Amino acid sequence: MTCKDLDLLLPLRAAGALAPDEATHVEAHLARCPTCRAEADADAAVLALAKLPPPTEAERRATAGIANGALAALRRGDRRRRTFQRVAAGIAVAAAALLAVLAPAVLRRTPTIPPAAAVTWQEPDLDTVWEDAGLLDIEVTAAAATTSDETSDESDAEIASIDL
Amino acid sequence: MDDEGDRPTLRVVAGGVTPQRREEEALVAAFLVGDDEAFGELVRRHEPLVLAIVRRYAQTPEDARDLAQRTFLRAFEAARRSLRRGPRAALPFRRWLVRVAVNLAKNHRRDALRVLRAPLEDAEAEHAGVTEATAAESLLHKERELRLRAAVLLLPRRQREVLTLRLDAELPFAEIADALGITENSAKVSFHHATRALRAAFALEDRP
């Protein structure tokens, strides 16, 4: 086993996580390699410092009732969930009943186009539309004016032929 | 439980199931059908493990208790949901606990860091009355300890999880790997990197 092989194993050794056969090889190497021994000591020192101290008396007291507290909270959650499910189911039933009662009335009141009216609808007569809009009167007036002009020319000729 | 479909089923694993795990699964199943005693027994069994994981992130003992309680609640919910999906989806309850505790603790990392970076006035008060040399040495040790604990919280997530599950909860690497969904070798490599990062942060090798 070389120093490079030991690099990965030394932190595991400091954490007490070496398999027995690995530990044998590592200890044999450390016995003859001061550099790796220094590395191993440094790993052990830093991990010892990083480890949390044991729980204090205050921590033990505060955490004594976890089982009861967690169980009470769990049961509260279950009750809340059941209540919610019951309320949701009640609302769903009430909504369904309301729908069953109101649906026929709502449907009856909805205005619909009688099918007969839709079938018998015809395009309106354009002449009637023109007449209603007064446009035909304008045409008639124009035509009347034209006739009047012709009549006027004839009258002028008649007047001219009169021997005064 | 009135619904037959909701009745939990025990997880069936081909070989390798320890009697302890089988007993634990029976306790979970018993609790899920309404046996409160089974719940108490499960909490008593795993309370030290959960507290060991969460107390690094708790600012007060009461915080640690609340985090532990929430861990048990969420783990039971997770176990209940997974059991309903069928035996194949079920995980050992202990694995749920570790996963949930690690995730909950992660959310408290920033608060814990703030506390660790607070001035060392409390430590100074603790050592009032002892000789000056001893007090100075104790203070130095306390300061290094607090700085190192802050450095642990600043490690990359994977390294921090592996390191604390090993140092605080003393879990075997196989179980750490199992809980975090990584290989055992990867967990060991993360532990190695974490140790090296802490050493670099403090340069302990250069100190007498």
The reply to whether residue B195 touches residue A77, judged by beta carbons under 8 angstroms, is no
pLDDT for the residue numbered B14: 43
Which pLDDT score, from 0 to 100, does residue B195 have? 96
**Residue B132: pLDDT above 50?**
yes
Which residue in chain A is spatially nearest to B186 when comparing CA positions? A8
Q: Grade residue B109 by pLDDT with cuts at 50, 70 and 90.
A: confident
Q: Which residue of B has its CA nearest to A8?
A: B192
Q: What is the chain B residue with the closest CA to A47?
A: B195
Q: What is the mean pLDDT of residues A61-87?
A: 78
B199–A15 C-beta distance less than 8 A? no
Q: What percent of chain A has pLDDT over 70?
A: 69
Nearest to A59 among B44, B64, B198 (CB): B64
Which of A52, A62, A70 is facing B168, going by the closest CB pair?
A52
Chain B residue with Cα closest to A60: B61
The pLDDT value recorded for residue A14 is: 95
Q: Is pLDDT at B86 greater than 60 in this prediction? A: yes
Cβ burial B83-111 (10 Å sphere, 16+ → b, else e): beeeeeebbbbbbbbbbbbbebbeebbee
B40 touches chain A (CB under 8 A): yes
**How far, in Å, CA of A109 to CA of B183, rounded?**
70
Contact between B168 and A67 using a beta-carbon 8 Å cutoff: no
Predicted pLDDT of residue B164: 95
Identify the three-state secondary structure at position B106: helix
Task: Supply the pLDDT for residue B5.
Answer: 46
Contact A46 B192 (CB under 8 A): no
Confidence of residue B171 (pLDDT cuts 50, 70, 90): very high
Lowest-confidence segment of A90-94, B134-138, B179-183 by average pLDDT: B134-138
Q: What pLDDT digit, counting tens, does each position of B3-31 carry? A: 444 444 444 444 456 777 778 888 888 88
Give the tokens for residue B96.
């749920």
CA atoms lying within 13 Å on the CB side of residue B167: 28
Interface residue of B37, B192, B206, B207 to substitute, partner A, most A CBs within 10 Å = B192
What is the model's pLDDT at position A37?
Answer: 95
pLDDT of residue A148: 47
The CATH code that applies to domain B1-106 is 1.10.1740.10
The predicted model gives B114-136 an average pLDDT of 61
* Digit-coded pLDDT (tens) for A120-145: 667 777 777 666 666 555 554 544 44
Q: How far is CA A150 from CA A155, A160, B77, in A?
A: 9, 16, 106
* Chain B CB contacts of A17 below 8 Å: 166, 172-173, 188, 191
Rounded mean pLDDT of chain B? 80
Whole-angstrom Cα distance, residue A26 to residue A55? 33
pLDDT digits (tens, 9 = 90+) for A81-121: 778 888 888 888 888 888 888 888 777 776 666 666 556 66
Structure token digits, residue B186: 């990867």
pTM metric for this prediction? 0.67
A38, A47, A73 ranked by CB distance to B167: nearest = A47
Task: Give pLDDT, residue A32.
Answer: 93
Q: Of the ranges A27-36, A89-98, B199-208, which is most confident? A: A27-36
Give B143-152 pLDDT, tens digit per residue: 888 888 889 9
How near does any CA of chain A get to the CA of B87, in Å? 23
Tokens encoding A106: 């709502």
How many whole angstroms separate alpha carbon B196 and alpha carbon B191?
9
Query: Could you report the per-residue pLDDT of A145-155, keeping only the tens digit for each?
Result: 444 444 445 55
Of A43, A49, A70, the CB nearest to B43: A70
Amino acid A118: pLDDT: 57
State the average pLDDT for chain A: 77
Supply the pLDDT for residue B173: 95
Residue among A49, A68, A75 with most chain B CBs within 10 A, to mutate? A49
